[in-house]
Amino acid sequence: MEMHIKEIIEQTEKEFNIKVLYACESGSRAWGFPSKDSDYDVRFIYIHQPNWYLSIDRKRDVIEIPNHDSLSIPVDPLLDMSGWELTKALKLFRKSNPPLLEWLRSSMVYYQRFSTIDKMKELEKEIFSPSSTIYHYLNMAKGNFREYLQGDTVKIKKYFYVLRPILAAKWTQIYQTIPPMEFETLVHKLIPDGDLRMSIDTLLKRKISGEELTLEPRINLINTYLEREIYQLETFAKSLEKHSLDSTEQLDELFRFTLKEVWNH
């Protein structure tokens, strides 16, 4: 699949007249709990030719393959691939956008060219906002908890889609840093040995082994933990100050530098 992803990247560059700066895995494969039929959730950052930016009209700043943007070569049905144009990515980076920060920390990098991503990583500490990060993961966890884990029987695999954001928010609360993507790292660092840890580890082993985790009785031990952490994180988040550093000038410079580096203008 990695060779196919690179082939799709090269074809995307040709057909859209762009350069891809970075492509990585962003979903359950990068989190460490893929299912047997999990998609490859590839996300990328790209830049257009300079003239694309010299226009009075606003243009589409996302490429989605194969959802809306078709290529002239076949795309594997397991490949879910989308990219953000660089200025869009930098605006979100300025806001300490957690999904983008996850991309930059993915352990599964399929493609990287030029110096832009390394320069963004150098700026991470300056732009990182614990408040934005905690609220993002907390809202994700609350929504998934409300939707998937309220009945007497629940889709067991959905526990991961509440546990992971809760642990990511908790990591940021404790360490004041961007949380790691890998679920196992979060669990082993934040959940002490005991019944809760054992219950989560058992679920993880079942999912990684390919077992179908469908409707089963709710796991009250995990539900109680999640309810407690949601309340605690909500209380903590309210006490945080908003991130106020304006990195616009640095990011403008990075954008202009990338245009010159990529297109030699």
pLDDT tens digits, one per residue of 149-191: 999 999 888 999 999 999 999 999 999 999 999 999 999 999 9
Are 171 and 183 contacting, i.e. CB atoms less than 8 angstroms apart? no
pLDDT at 14: 96
Q: Is the Cβ–Cβ distance between 190 and 174 less than 8 Å?
A: yes
Residues 62, 83 contacting (CB under 8 angstroms):
yes
CB 134 within 8 A of CB 107: no
Indicate the helix (H) or strand (E) that contains 22: strand 18-25
* Nearest CA-CA partner of 86 in 243, 263, 245, 242: 263
Backbone φ and ψ for 141, nearest 5 degrees, come out as: -65, -45
Place of tokens 């079942």: 206
Q: What does the pLDDT look like over 6-48, one tens digit per residue?
A: 999 999 999 999 999 999 999 889 998 887 778 999 999 999 9
Instruction: Give the residue from 80, 92, 96 showing the smallest Cα distance to 133.
Output: 96
Dmax (CA) for the chain in angstroms is 62
Residue 219 gets which letter from DSSP?
-
Tell whether the torsion through CA atoms of 138, 139, 140 and 141 is positive or negative: positive
Confidence at residue 213, expressed as pLDDT on a 0 to 100 scale: 77
Predicted local distance difference test score (pLDDT) of residue 265:
60
Mean pLDDT of 118-122: 97
* pLDDT tens-digit readout, 94-106: 999 999 999 999 9
The backbone torsions φ and ψ at residue 213, rounded to the nearest 5 degrees and listed phi first, read -100, 85
